[in-house]
Amino acid sequence: MTKGSYKQFCPVAMASEIICTRWTAVLVRELLMGSTRFNDLRRGVPRMSPALLSKRLKDLEEAGIVYRSPVEDEPDVEQYILTQAGKDLYPIVESLGIWGARWVETEPSLENLDPTLLMWDMRRNIIPDPKPNKRSVIQFMYSDQPKATKNWWLIVDPKNDKIDLCSVEPGFDVDLYVSTDLRTMTKIWMGFETLSNAFAEEDILLTGNSDLEEKVRLWLSPGKSLSPFAGIEKLVS
Amino acid sequence: MTKGSYKQFCPVAMASEIICTRWTAVLVRELLMGSTRFNDLRRGVPRMSPALLSKRLKDLEEAGIVYRSPVEDEPDVEQYILTQAGKDLYPIVESLGIWGARWVETEPSLENLDPTLLMWDMRRNIIPDPKPNKRSVIQFMYSDQPKATKNWWLIVDPKNDKIDLCSVEPGFDVDLYVSTDLRTMTKIWMGFETLSNAFAEEDILLTGNSDLEEKVRLWLSPGKSLSPFAGIEKLVS
DNA sequence: CCGGATCCGGTTAGATACTG
DNA sequence: CAGTATCTAACCGGATCCGG
């Protein structure tokens, strides 16, 4: 552990040695967001190699940030659960996110969009309030994406707080279709553009049940259930 | 910039790409603490190679976190000044420090003490309140250190807010001598031990002007001007 | 002294493939 | 599903050197 260390007796240095290694902060973000299993985490950090993910999880375990726990009913499968020390990393990840939202130029980064990351982020963070009056299926169609990642289905059940996400047809009738491109949807989700504005510019189209449409427009309006980092004032271009 | 990037459109990932590289957070800490010149920064991160320091400063400049500015009266010497984006990194460094103080085991790290870092941290953070009634010199003597780093002098002037630090005899009479070892002084400074307790255990000895001694004991008492991270409750051994 | 640049060897990370 | 294995490229630490 002393190997490669900063050898500084300072709390900032001690924390940095653990958190400020490549990919670690982003991995901790995934854990804080609720992912627990290896392949769930892998989906959240798709450009991280499984070998490095495995190593980082071991490092985090050694640092007392996660522990392994067997999954019920599934032998040979383990989960990575945050300890209290791990949960206490929240302010670090939060302040990183606030600073990034405020000070990093977004244009270059808008080249690196990923429909999977976007949809999972939406699944985790959308609060369907007002609730639909019945279980509803919303299909997202990204006109600029290849077939494999073009279509996504969110299933919102008023009896269930959790939203479900499918990347293949769920088999239920679709109540609302959202047609747009990935860039537009990402910008709406990040709060760079309002849904109303994108709608007015015809960058997004909603068709289907008009009662549900009205509710979805409310869910995705500023100050409601957009990305946790939407609404932070940008101070660079 | 896209090279080696996480390629994730997420504020946490965007900030991590800049901040969470080796040494960067610790370097930013130094800048936030007020160091501006290359060799001042080098002193604050003594184990960082000058080549890497130079590279990191360039990276920070490119990221809009610092800018270079010529030093008045000293041609060919430049300073690194934090921009507003750089000053806004404070919450990140602060949350790293709080987490580190709370969750990183200190025992292994107490092997990596450094009198230079300690004295400069004290110089920057001690608030001499109550003030001495005249310019006073306090000599620290670390019994366990080699000659080169055994003796340090703090010069406190009631007419001047800034404390001066010397590693060679300043030429003025010494008003107060502090005899201890580096580990004891570090623990007091970090809030792991109180000065009173160390005094009772005879791990530290103060000799000289008793009025000044009384004031110094107040400066170094919990809740006063110890390290910014003193007073955070440890939740691991 | 100040502010780096250069070279070299060791470590780390990415790409890809593979396995129980 | 949950990781290893392997190979290569990039990065980092340490020492040395250089121009003002």
Contacts of A189 in chain B (CB under 8 A): none
**In chain B, which segments carry CATH 3.30.1050.10?**
108-219
pLDDT value of position B1: 42
CA of B40 to C1' of C1 (A): 13
Residue with minimal CA–C1' distance to C5 is: B51
On average, the pLDDT of chain A sits at: 93
The pLDDT value recorded for residue A52 is 94
Q: Among 3.40.309.10, 3.90.930.12, 3.40.50.720, 3.30.1050.10, what is the CATH number of A108-219?
A: 3.30.1050.10
CA torsion, ordered A7, A10, A12, A13, to nearest 10 deg: 0
Measured in angstroms, the CA of A134 and the nearest CA of chain B are apart by: 32
Q: What is the mean pLDDT of residues A130-153?
A: 95
* Token duo for residue A83: 């300890």
| Confidence bin at B4 (pLDDT 50/70/90) | low
Confidence of residue A131 (pLDDT cuts 50, 70, 90): very high
- Given a cut of 70, is residue B50 above it in pLDDT? yes
Q: Is the pLDDT of residue A148 over 80?
A: yes
Chain B residue numbers touching A114 (CB-CB < 8 A)? 7-9
Q: How far apart are the first and last CA of chain B?
A: 41
Is residue A2's pLDDT more than 60?
no
Q: What percent of chain A clears pLDDT 70, i.e. is strictly above it?
A: 98
CATH class of the structural domain B11-103: mainly alpha
What's the pLDDT score for residue B210?
97
Q: Cβ distance A98 to A232 under 8 Å?
A: yes
Average per-residue pLDDT for chain B: 93
CA distance to A8, A219, B150, B155, B176, per residue, from B173 (Å): 33, 71, 18, 11, 9
Concatenated DSSP letters of B47-109: TS-HHHHHHHHHHHHHTTSEEEEEETTEEEEEEEEE-HHHHTTHHHHHHHHHHHHHHS-STGG
**Positions in chain C where some atom is under 7 Å from a protein CB:** 1-7, 11-17
Using only the alpha carbons of chain B, give its radius of gyration: 20
Give the pLDDT confidence score for residue A49 in this predicted structure.
93
- How many Cβ atoms are within 10 Å of A153's Cβ, its own excluded? 19
Residue of A nearest to B20 (CA): A20
Give the closest nucleotide to B78 (alpha carbon vs C1'): C3
Residue B54 has pLDDT above 90, yes or no: yes
Q: Is the pLDDT assigned to residue A141 strictly greater than 50?
A: yes
pLDDT digits (tens, 9 = 90+) for A14-23: 999 999 999 9
| pLDDT, mean of residues B36-65 | 93
Q: What is the mean pLDDT of residues A28-33?
A: 97
Span B74-94, mean pLDDT?
92
Between the CA of B124 and the C1' of D18, what is the distance in angstroms?
34
Per-residue pLDDT at B149 exceeds 70: yes
Q: What is the pLDDT of residue A4?
A: 54
Q: What is the DSSP letter of A177?
A: E
Where along chain B do the CATH 1.10.10.10 domains lie?
A: 11-103
Residue A74: its pLDDT value, please? 74
Residue B58's pLDDT band (boundaries 50, 70, 90)?
Answer: very high
Residue B142 near residue B150 (C-beta atoms within 8 A)? yes
**pLDDT of A1:** 41
For B153-209, what is each residue's pLDDT tens digit? 999 999 988 899 999 998 899 999 999 999 999 999 999 999 999 999 999 999 999
Q: Please give the pLDDT value at position A70.
A: 85
Percent of chain B predicted with pLDDT > 90: 84
- Tell me what pLDDT residue B2 has: 42
Percent of chain B past pLDDT 70, that is, above it, reads 98
pLDDT at B73: 75
